[in-house]
Amino acid sequence: MTIDYNERIIQSIDATVEKLSTPQSYEQVYHKPQLNEEMLSIEAIKEIMQIVQGIIFPGYFGNTSIKPHSMRFHMGVNVDRLFKLLMTQIKRGYCFDCTAEDCEACD
């Protein structure tokens, strides 16, 4: 019974990889955007993840010398930075697929 289950998992993974490998599966994200706006910034995504770690686990990730009396300040700085990064990346995602010639939202 275990062999049958493992075989089904392998077949499912193989079918998923096959579908993801077809050009139709990535044509929406694999193109040059009209407004030259890249889809997402890998560096920004890495920074977002580091900030989230610092917010969820303060003192363990990011600034490890946070004191109780400065916790509110550090949290505020991290949340503010996270908000700005997320807003920029979300906008980039929307503008990536924008086809308007003169789009105020993407300027």
The residues spanned by each domain of the chain are 1-30, 33-106
Q: What is the pLDDT of residue 90?
A: 87
From the options 3.40.50.2030, 1.10.3130.10, 1.10.8.100, 1.20.140.10, give the CATH code of 33-106: 1.10.3130.10
- Whether the CB-CB separation of 94 and 105 falls below 8 Å is answered with yes
Least confident of 18-22, 50-54, 101-105: 101-105
Q: What is the largest CA-CA distance in the chain?
A: 60
DSSP bridge partners of 61:
58
Residue 39 has pLDDT above 80, yes or no: no
Specify the pTM.
Answer: 0.63
